[in-house]
Structure 1
Amino acid sequence: MTDLGPMSYFLGIAVTRTPSCLLFSQEKYAEEILERADAGPPFRDPTLYCSLAGALQYLTFTRPDIAYAVQQVCLFMHDPRESHYDALKRILHYVQGTIDHGLHLYPSASHRLITYTDADWGGCPDTRRSSSDYCCFLGDNLISWSSKRQHTLSKSSAEAEYRGVANVVFEACWYRNLLLELHCPLRLATIVYCNDVSATYLSGNPVQHQRTKHVEMDIHFVREKVALGEVRVLHVPSRYQFADIFTKGLPRELFLDFRSTLSVRPPPAMTAGV
């Protein structure tokens, strides 16, 4: 193997090292998407906008702040209409205005794994399936996030939320095992924050109710991890549920606050020579 030195570009992601952090950005890829959007007259080539919606999904690798908007556009682009094009153009306009933004990773003294999970109950108007969304922090750094439609229908919001809890617990267990193999075991339990009281209660309630039989496997999986001390499921108010940025449109101030919490920011100001 050849040592190519410090990583600077990998799989379309540019890596910039600064004295305070690592910056992961897809600015070049975003510029290519914007060029494709200007390639032809609006509304005359639906396939162009469908491909743009799909391409934008890859931009969420370093820009989870646009995950919800891209998810909604992709959801409806199977039958493109003018309103969908308008929504896509608004997303492209937002990407253009924040093209230099990327994911920052900072040195952190804490190595605790903390996760947030949310669900959009019955959010798909065609299938009424829910979407599960989560974000995982190792210390102060965002290391994983997802916005994905559930495979089965949920009969209640608690069921949809609990499936989301099970998904993020599975993800957390994978990271715990990975860190164990890297000889950096986590000593403290993983915290799972959920803003649904019923889903939080089910994670520690040993009584199996009849109305929860259809999510029995998820319930037993989460309860086992809770009993082993690997996971704690706690309630969090919606004001501090950062996974909401993946499931719904938010007021501007709250969106900017959550985006900053996810460490999606412009590059640090250059002060050399000042």
Structure 2
Amino acid sequence: MDYGDRPPTYLLLLQEKYAQEILEHVGMGSCKPTTTPVDTKSKLSADAGPPFRDPTLYRSLAGALQYLTFTRPDIAYAGTIDHGLHLYPSASHRLITYTDAHWGGCPDTFRSTSGYCCFLGDNLVSWSSKRQHTLSKSSAEAEYRGVANVVSEACWLRNLLLELHCPLRQATIVYCDNVSAIYLSGNPVQHQRTKHVEMDIHFIREKVALGQVRVLHVPSRYQFADIFTKGLPQDLFLDFRSSLSVRPPPAMTAGV
């Protein structure tokens, strides 16, 4: 991007060229945009089979899209190929995270999908969307496993910043919309029905006791990690996408 004599006030990370190459590779260069990246009602099943006759092509596309999903949280939304992640100077150095889980979302295995996003100050620095390895017996368990995932990521980010001589002085905030999961993170009583997630429970409680993490409630309307776990209505999807600082580049105004 040409800034002329003006220094840039932000960084823009985008993969428009790579995304276009993927579409051309599978013959979808002129595909029409959709409302949201995932249908809010239908679920993909292994029984449906791949959308392409060539299994090799399908696997290649799935791998490429998986890479783009982990590097661009909006790429599946057709029509936003020019959107990118904006990073701005921020006076705040707090690490704030959001975590959510879609309980039993997989129609084949009934495993849950965990999603999280991590903000350093005002900037999105890490995110994930991943199916859980084990079956959760309740929504609270699925949510708590999601909390454990984002706490692990937060610990890694805190250690990285420490090595870069930018230690975080305040506890990492973990926003979760499941009250039971929040209760388990601080309640020292071990319940019989949670023994199968005992390691996650002790891991999170240890970080809470050390003052490194605080698990707080956030209303589902403001649970940004929801975008990584399931299909959302268009208005909510667009709102969350903007909250993640995924936007198109501004219009060029150099020389105006």
TM-score by length of 2: 0.85
2:227 to 229, 245, 256: 245
CA shift, 1:205, in A, is 0.5
Q: Which residue of 1 aligns with 2:146?
A: 164
Change (3 A) 1:185 1:37: same
CA shift, 1:46, in A, is 4.8
Q: Which residue of 1 aligns with 2:15?
A: 26
Q: Distance between the aligned counterparts of 1:182 and 1:214, measured in 2? A: 37
Q: Distance between the aligned counterparts of 1:62 and 1:272, measured in 2? A: 29
Aligned partner letter, 1:229:
G
Q: Which residue of 2 aligns with 1:65?
A: 74
CA contact 1:109–1:139 (8 Å) conserved in 2: yes
Q: Distance between the aligned counterparts of 1:18 and 1:174, measured in 2? A: 32
Q: How does 1:40-189 map to 2 (within 5 A)?
A: 43-66=52-75, 91=76, 94-95=77-78, 97-189=79-171
Q: Distance between the aligned counterparts of 1:212 and 1:158, measured in 2? A: 10
What are the ranges of 5 or more consecutive residues in structure 1 without an aligned counterpart?
Answer: 1-7, 9-16, 67-90
CA contact 1:62–1:102 (8 Å) conserved in 2: no
What are the ranges of 5 or more consecutive residues in structure 2 without an aligned counterpart?
Answer: 30-50
Change (3 A) 1:223 1:142: same
CA shift, 1:49, in A, is 3.5
Q: Distance between the aligned counterparts of 1:18 and 1:158, measured in 2? A: 48
Aligned partner letter, 1:25:
L
Higher relative contact order (CA 8 A, sep 6+): 2
Q: Distance between the aligned counterparts of 2:229 and 2:7, measured in 1? A: 32
> Which structure shows the higher helix fraction?
1
* Aligned length in residues: 231
Q: Distance between the aligned counterparts of 2:132 and 2:8, measured in 1? A: 41
CA contact 2:74–2:80 (8 Å) conserved in 1: no
Aligned partner letter, 2:218:
V
Query: SS in structure 2 opposite 1:198?
Result: helix
CA shift, 1:56, in A, is 1.2
The yes-or-no answer on 1:233 pairing with 2:215 is yes
Q: Distance between the aligned counterparts of 2:126 and 2:210, measured in 1? A: 23
CA contact 2:90–2:121 (8 Å) conserved in 1: yes
CA RMSD in angstroms, aligned pairs only: 2.0
Q: Deviations over 1:22-45 (max 9, x none)?
A: 0111111011111112189x8544
Q: Which residue of 2 aligns with 1:71?
A: none
Q: Deviations over 1:33-66 (max 9, x none)?
A: 11112189x8544543442232111112432124
Query: SS in structure 2 opposite 1:155?
Result: coil
Aligned partner letter, 2:22:
I
Aligned partner letter, 2:66:
Q
Q: Using the aligned pairs only, state the percent identity.
A: 87
Q: Distance between the aligned counterparts of 1:142 and 1:39, measured in 2? A: 30
Q: Distance between the aligned counterparts of 2:203 and 2:10, measured in 1? A: 37
CA shift, 1:247, in A, is 0.9
CA contact 2:70–2:129 (8 Å) conserved in 1: no
Change (3 A) 1:203 1:43: closer
